[in-house]
A and B are shown apart, each in its own frame.
Chain A
């Protein structure tokens, strides 16, 4: 067993090239190993002290969120809350204060759980992921990152260094809502993120919806502004998912609830697009789920 604390991205990439596995907050890795899901990797490189990974940079047409940014930062950062509110909604629901203080956005998306909270918001925001290895890096649309439960298309020597999110148009809003049985230490039973853009007349000109915990990965659904006007968001979400039955819920219940939750996410996003201030997270502000 070896444990190396990297102080730079280069050190971390070198360790990965030599077969080490990255650990940031460890909230999935350590818990998973203790539950017997997998063996703790014999060689670990800690990336939680690399300052370059923990920054949020606002560019002309996008925001660059370092992979080491914690959920506690995401849920409170004014730029995130202001422009990418669904990400803040999601980060605020992760685990407990202890989890949120060490758990990172990079860890959340690379863990590739279909029930992750930050994934669906990033999908509706059109985010990409920056993957680096020794000597090169590439940018992958986030929807292409996940290949199955716990599976990504990244290779073992690649490190997620940042999430890139395009700037949002004016008169737009996003929201993430999840079904939960309790208010802390919870995993989404189902979840939905929505992004809504409004035309000058206040009508919905664009809508995007992504769902968590109802398919092997986070999925984006086909939906049009007309679906919102017709009130058929719930139907669309329920039809386009492929949930499983497990300890938390049956497939039948998940299929029903994801429609309810998707509809509420679209509603909250539209209200935010129209200028209404709904506090983060939507679940608490609107009394949704266990709120």
Chain B
């Protein structure tokens, strides 16, 4: 169902604070007696600690606490695999690993304390090549991997932290029947989420309880990490997120909250950590993973894809963070939203001595989509078919069965392809010889999960939503006002939101997996419906009518069809003080996940989340300077099936932001490593984000297909999907101009030039 026009109006509740600068971020907080924290990092990618002596640091003037692994509970933790400790113990496995922490009365004193720590490390050979790390001969990143526990049931072996295999039909046999077989290899570099706000944590103990203000996307997960690593019950740790200055996945996960809480407890003072930009590059365990793809497809002369095999090797980095399900995600994206009857894809998540990988906006998807969609254009070329016609022939539509056996309810991929290519003038526009329009399709799952909210109406008729959800800038929490207002017949601006505080709101998974609207939206609806029921009963009592005949709208409760029998909701709220307070609580109900063919699938983590998948098609016009390889995006047409769009302006903002991030991934953003596994471009000067001056016009079209598999009113997520197909579409445009796909991501100018003059893979 579509909302009425007034409900689609967007007034963003946190807008004025953020725009005027009156809003407060974690780094803005200053507590009485506050100390400054600094970390001592490994600075080598792989080595054995032979000496760690902090005694001199403890004597530095102004230093009130120095911690190492000896000072905290000695246990391993980790989302998918319990493979790391708060501080390095015996072995360091990436350059940004924390060895010790200092809290002191000033930043200078803290640095002096850090400098006084004596660390001696016997450097070991860094394991940096993900394909070599997969071999049986490779040294191990974790000698003791077999003793680690995996709460997620990862399929592990030596340097393989997680493995997944999806299999449908008989790919090998079907490949032999194909008229054409095309094999492709693609290598994607790692990259970064790069939120503008470097992370910050402030911790303060009162008695046996600690309050932690932190720039996280996942306050409950951060709280649970503190509880797990410091041995505290959930109700003694309160995590509050002031305004968050962006995350893009980089602030998912539990990071440094426990370090700062432990420092604060040891120093008996509040402690504050603020990262430099360099630390933000090097230390978090949420980098976008490098991936190597090999994919082979068999295609018939008539255009049918009959078989696909693939191998995916994902660089896990030194620790597993939340990357345990990445093999499944990457496999799904290499299979793609296509009707292929015979598929076999193996995917490996492999330890290296790089910074750990983790959920950055649509993890694995932009890279895998880039690889698959480049390959798809190669398939179309092999049989001489237009690549858009080829996609229309092979892509999934309503009622088709996907690669793991899910049958798709109402979906709009074909409509997306038609909308994006139509608006871009694909096939109809005169293009200069150095220009081309590239097209790619993408998809992204919806992750159902537990999530809660309270709603209350005050005596003056104003409302408050108290939610566990986290706003990371997408506007999804802000959109909750519209859902509550819609249920209660009120105006969105009648509501304030209390959010991102674990002691105030019920559990929510956080700003992760495009899940806020899907899950917390249903919780807010359910909470609001309780109050709506109360209001209908009160109005029914007053007018001697049935509650079923009371409608809520325009701020009044009215007997249906009789405007003279109506009462302002504010008046009912006032009288609630004499009867029963208007309080609602709601939770996201469990969702029936798609039935999977488990017998043909190893490691199905994440696969069942392909409920209500979001689809997209991007058509991108690109101009390539053939003499230098510099590619410039001229325009982007993006069409998305994210179900019902609750808030068009916010949703369009997500598309535009995702596209911009995709352009960066396509052309300029990539981590460069030295042979010892250290990042060479951990600074904004040399890690090239796109700037405002580089961004082309972005045209968005929403294909609103209603499905019962989605969230509130048929809405799916929209935060990650826009990031999936852009790089792939740019790749296909570049390939058309220079005559062959560029098989490395990012497709830097130098790489485009090297490919165009036939030199294949290049180092940088």
Contact = CB atoms under 8 A, between A and B. Distances in A.
A184 to B, nearest CB: 4
Interface in B460-509: none
Contacts, number: 62
Q: Give the residue among A185, A256, A290 with the most B Cβ atoms within 10 A.
A: A290
Q: How many A residues are at the interface, by size bracket?
A: 20 to 34
A260 B750 contact: no
A236 to B, nearest CB: 16
A257 to B, nearest CB: 5
14 contacts: A179-B628, A180-B630, A181-B749, A182-B691, A184-B694, A185-B684, A185-B691, A245-B764, A247-B764, A250-B763, A253-B750, A257-B753, A260-B628, A261-B628
Contacts of B748: 181
Interface in A174-188: 179-185, 187
Contacts of B667: 181
B627 interface: yes
Interface in B675-707: 680-681, 683-686, 688, 690-694
Interface of B: 623, 625, 627-628, 630, 632, 667-668, 672, 680-681, 683-686, 688, 690-694, 748-750, 753-754, 762-764
A22 to B, nearest CB: 23
Contacts of B692: 184
A256 B753 contact: yes
A187 B685 contact: yes
A285 interface: no
Given A181-B748, A185-B684, A187-B685, 11 more contacts: A35-B683, A96-B691, A182-B691, A184-B693, A247-B764, A249-B750, A257-B628, A289-B628, A289-B630, A290-B630, A290-B694
Contacts of B681: 247
B566 to A, nearest CB: 56
Interface string A276-291: 0000000000011111
Given A181-B749, A253-B753, A247 B693 contact: no
A49 interface: no
A138 interface: no
Nearest to B691: A184
B680 A182 contact: no
Main secondary structure of the interface of B (DSSP, over half): loop
Contacts of A288: 625
B683 to A, nearest CB: 7
Contacts of A250: 750, 762-764
Given A250-B750, A288-B625, A183 B685 contact: no
A183 B628 contact: no
A256 B680 CA distance: 24
* Minimum-distance CB pairs A-B, first 6: A183-B693, A184-B691, A184-B693, A260-B627, A253-B750, A247-B686
B691 A247 contact: no
B675 to A, nearest CB: 14
Contact of A289 (B625, B683, B685, B753): B625
A96 B753 CA distance: 27
A287 B684 CA distance: 25
Interface in A156-196: 179-185, 187, 189
Q: Give the residue among B684, B685, B749 with the most A Cβ atoms within 10 A.
A: B749
Nearest to B434: A287
